Structure 1
Amino acid sequence: MAPPLRSEADNDSKYLTKMLLSCLLLLILLLPNYIVVSQTIISTLPGFPGDLPFKLETGYVGVGELDDVQLFYYFVESGGSPKDDPLVLWLTGGPGCSAFSGLVYEIGPLSFDFTESSKSSPTFKLNPYSWTKVANIIFLDAPVGTGFSYAKSWEGYNMTDTLSAAQTYEFIRKWLMAHPTFQRNPLYIAGDSYSGIVVPIIVEKISDGNEAGRKPAMNLQGYVLGDPTTVPHDDYNSRIPFAHRKTLISDELYESIKTNCNGEYINIDPTNTPCVSDLIAVTECISKLYTGNILEPTCSYLSPKPLAVGSKWDPSYGEDSVDLLLTAPQIPKPWCRSYNYLFVYIWANNKTVQEALGIREGSIKEWTRCNASLSYTDNVFSTLDYHRNLIKKGYRMLIYSGDQDMVIPYVGTHAWIKSLNLTVSEDWEPWFVDGQVAGYAMEYNYKKCRLRYAIVKGGGHTAPEYKPKECFAMIERWFAYYPL
């Protein structure tokens, strides 16, 4: 029997069905470029008594090919005027240090109550100097492999400076599309330590995207960098003059090493015996110091190997042996700052906490404050050209350094700022908090660009963890266009 003839209407219906399926498939492929995959409003958190007195949102945004990379964020709405206050995207350094570290140890609304916390029950208290009093802040776990961010494939974990910056740019575009009420807010990109490499790249991408008409248009105003890596070689090389200024090495040794090493302390000729000998002497002088803040005690069994002059160690990795602390019968004396980091490991790896935060089950094996095992390749060795380009575009810049930080010494930071050959509009002068000198600052300009450089007295790596009150005063005044 011959098959029944299909009517023209049947053919039209079949064609329309195919078209609809094709459109639906295309929509599925395109939608991740415009929506946040998930977001959760958090009203209570384990360890904090009662309801949170601020708006906290967590979520994932997919970036990269087919949204293979899932970047996790914490968003805290401003306690002032959310619709008017700046929107800040915050990146903690490393690379590989979770933004939650910045949230609870630096600039966020919560901090651990160390007197009330125990190993089994970490407890929070409010941070009176939270930057969220004057800004809406997105704390982003980037690059992938940091904090709760993860990739769906192993290839997604292969990361570089430029790829990380590109994915963060994609993140902020998608986040703003999902939060259109914040598209008009003044936007600042901020971070500290190693974020000094990626932040200027991100800012340039946003600026270029605005000029190209990419949506959404972002109200980009500038960026903030704390104790930033900028030219890694020069940053690490400046540890020698910093050590001399802080009387950690003698005048005689300093003059000798300058002569014998010809000012180069990183790429050393091993056959230059006088230079090698001087470097050994310098290392002996500084190896027992806590380089995150040379005024604080160091912990021998919680810290990595002694800091050699040219090493790239970041004190964020100072709790590599946190298991030793967990099993220790008591905290040894003297107190060391890295003991504070114990509580965040206990808290963030608690299943109840992860459920409260909306963490996807099985997405990570174990949360670490700083992931030292990232598959990460440095491919940007200087951000000076990015800074020069952004200066020409007229953006605002705040760069600050703790004056006791020997990881990224202020000596090197101030040197590269001066190398930009900007006009000094306000020369070196003290700034005050509660009538006391909180640090020193100066301002540079080029046409519409304003670059404020601030030293935080007593600050370490990084400054807000050591001097929260002073750093809050600094950022509050800067956002408001007031002198420090």
Structure 2
Amino acid sequence: MALFVSSVFSFFLLVTLPLLTLAAPESALVTHLPGFSGTFSSKHYSGYITVDEVNGRNLFYYFVVSEGNPAKDPVVLWLNGGPGCSSFDGFVYEHGPFNFELGGSSGSLPKLHLNPYSWSKVSNIIYVDSPAGVGLSYSKNTSDYYTGDLKTASDSHTFLLKWFQLYPEFQQNPFYITGESYAGVYVPTLSYEVAKGIQRGDKPTLNFKGYMVGNGVCDTTYDGNALVPFVHGMGLISDDLFQEVNNACKGSYWNPVNDGCENSLDKVDSEISGLNIYDILEPCYHGSEIREVTQKSNLPLSFRRLGETNRPMPVRKRIFGRAWPLRAPVRDGRVPSWNELGSLGVVPCMNDEVASTWLNNEAVRSAIHAQPVDSIGEWELCTGKLDFHHDAGSMIKYHKNLTLLGYRALIYSGDHDMCVPFTGSEAWTRSLGYNITDTWRPWYTNDQVSGYTQGYAHNLSFLTIKGSGHTVPEYKPQEALAFYTRWLTGQKI
């Protein structure tokens, strides 16, 4: 029946949009994946879209067709942040169609198992590596790796227009833009480009409905001032130190107003330096002991506990560090590269053996229609190639413009993330000044409190996920699918 509906819908598009292809390009169809021996739950497509013919700037995407009703389910674009991090982070570790299990020996291919909490259960979802230079995306002109927020948004908009030309049968589906972390910048800037394109009459017309940001950076002041109240509220610093830093800094934690403020903030940094910045509940792994820690836990060497819904795998190692400075994570100007942060010893040390082993395997590259390693280099979770500039300013103006235009927005936060604490996201959403339409209350999964939410006028909602870290679908996959499904379908969360 689903194939019949798709065929009828594609015929309709052929009649009404004669310049577009009939259906998804068969050359992009993924027919198999090394490490997976089962049957796909839906069709998968992948490949490149050129966003700049002159420079040869190409963005890689992986598209998972909905396991539900592809002809009617929303199309969702997913972006990871960084800047410079691959959206395969979301695909492999968070809400992709598979759970990945580490191979039995070092360097062996991971085993793939169907993920019961994949977001493709209820949506068609596109994972795209953006900007060029990230993940499997590349440019033939390396000067393209000098980039920033605005160029990234423009390229991503071009990508979307070309993508929907390649997949015309999805043009009528509701379309949403989602992402996490530095995608707190990518998502609203791209959403604004899409909204402007619709107003201009760009073709094809995207059926854009709204956007969603998870643990996303937004504004220098609000995000920069979020850490101190967060660590105090979590019991990580004493009342005495909180009073000291509050008195010395006069509430301006991100921009120290005097030497006393700076000294007090240094004390705060020292107190929390042993914690996992991405989830204060999780162990902070150091050096090469990861395998010992994992083996002592009597758990399989996998990135997710198969059959367990609420905990990430310990092999997914993040050593304490700063993806951005803990204060003011979105300062204007050039963003330090991952290599530069690493040389300072303050970037998270990530053991992403599963993703790296899989995506740097030539058989995998061939299966997903990606350029080989000897052509574009190895896949890295977060690249040091970019010379990236935060040039879009505060995201508050983007959120205000978009919500006042009628687009739906969900801002969600894992409440134990110290990298982009929920206290900042809660504060800036409230700062928009919209009337509260849904007073602060708990929301539930399986009759258990999963977090708290507050709704505002103009279709803006703020949501926390109880006990979750920075990458919510990784830490709380069942709860993540629950709120994602309810929000997409317009249900009350």
Deviations 1:195-215 (A, max 9, x none): 111211111111111111111
Distance verdict in 2 for CA 1:266–1:38, change over 3 Å: farther
Distance verdict in 2 for CA 1:104–1:306, change over 3 Å: closer
Which runs of no fewer than 5 residues in structure 1 stay unpaired? Answer: 1-30, 322-335
Deviations 1:431-465 (A, max 9, x none): 111111111111101xxx21121100011112111
Which residue of the partner structure matches residue 230 of structure 1? 218
Deviation for aligned residue 1:380: 2.0
**1:458 aligned onto 2:458:** no
Write the letter of the residue equivalent to 1:444: Y
Deviation for aligned residue 1:385: 0.7
Higher CA-based Rg: 1
Distance 2:461 2:350 in 1: 31
Distance 2:326 2:148 in 1: 25
| TM norm structure 1 | 0.84
Q: Is the 8 A contact 2:437 2:455 kept in 1?
A: yes
Q: Aligned to 2:29, what secondary structure does the other structure show?
A: strand
Matches within 5 A, 1:236-275: 236-269=224-257, 272-275=258-261
Which residue of the partner structure matches residue 289 of structure 1? 275
Q: Aligned to 2:375, what secondary structure does the other structure show?
A: coil
Distance 2:228 2:39 in 1: 49
Distance 1:37 1:127 in 2: 26
1:99 pairs with 87, 101, 108, which one?
A: 87
**1:479 aligned onto 2:465:** no
**1:365 aligned onto 2:377:** yes
Deviation for aligned residue 1:311: 7.2
Write the letter of the residue equivalent to 2:461: R
Distance 2:254 2:239 in 1: 20
Distance verdict in 2 for CA 1:117–1:199, change over 3 Å: farther
Q: Is the 8 A contact 1:240 1:309 kept in 2?
A: no
Deviations 1:307-354 (A, max 9, x none): 56437499x979x99xxxxxxxxxxxxxx9954x21111111111111
Distance 1:184 1:444 in 2: 28
| TM norm structure 2 | 0.82
Which runs of no fewer than 5 residues in structure 2 stay unpaired? Answer: 1-18, 288-316, 343-347
Q: Is the 8 A contact 1:37 1:62 kept in 2?
A: no
Deviations 1:460-482 (A, max 9, x none): 11211100100100011111111
Deviation for aligned residue 1:36: 10
Distance 2:94 2:183 in 1: 15
Which residue of the partner structure matches residue 354 of structure 2? 343
Q: Aligned to 1:107, what secondary structure does the other structure show?
A: coil
Write the letter of the residue equivalent to 1:391: T
Which residue of the partner structure matches residue 20 of structure 1? none
Which residue of the partner structure matches residue 429 of structure 1? 441
Distance verdict in 2 for CA 1:218–1:68, change over 3 Å: same
Distance verdict in 2 for CA 1:284–1:96, change over 3 Å: same
Number of matched pairs: 430
Q: Is the 8 A contact 1:90 1:190 kept in 2?
A: yes
Q: Is the 8 A contact 2:225 2:328 kept in 1?
A: no
Q: Structure 1 stretch 219-228 or stretch 58-67: which is displaced more?
A: 58-67
**1:355 aligned onto 2:366:** yes
- Cα RMSD of the aligned pairs, angstroms, is 2.7
1:414 pairs with 410, 426, 446, which one?
A: 426
Distance 2:454 2:386 in 1: 37
Q: Is the 8 A contact 2:102 2:109 kept in 1?
A: no
Q: State the identity %.
A: 40
Deviation for aligned residue 1:252: 1.3
Distance 2:75 2:260 in 1: 52
**1:112 aligned onto 2:100:** yes
Distance 2:175 2:387 in 1: 30
Distance 2:75 2:212 in 1: 12
**1:405 aligned onto 2:393:** no
Write the letter of the residue equivalent to 1:310: R
Distance verdict in 2 for CA 1:148–1:309, change over 3 Å: closer
Q: Is the 8 A contact 1:41 1:58 kept in 2?
A: yes
Deviations 1:404-444 (A, max 9, x none): 00111000001000110011011111111111111111110
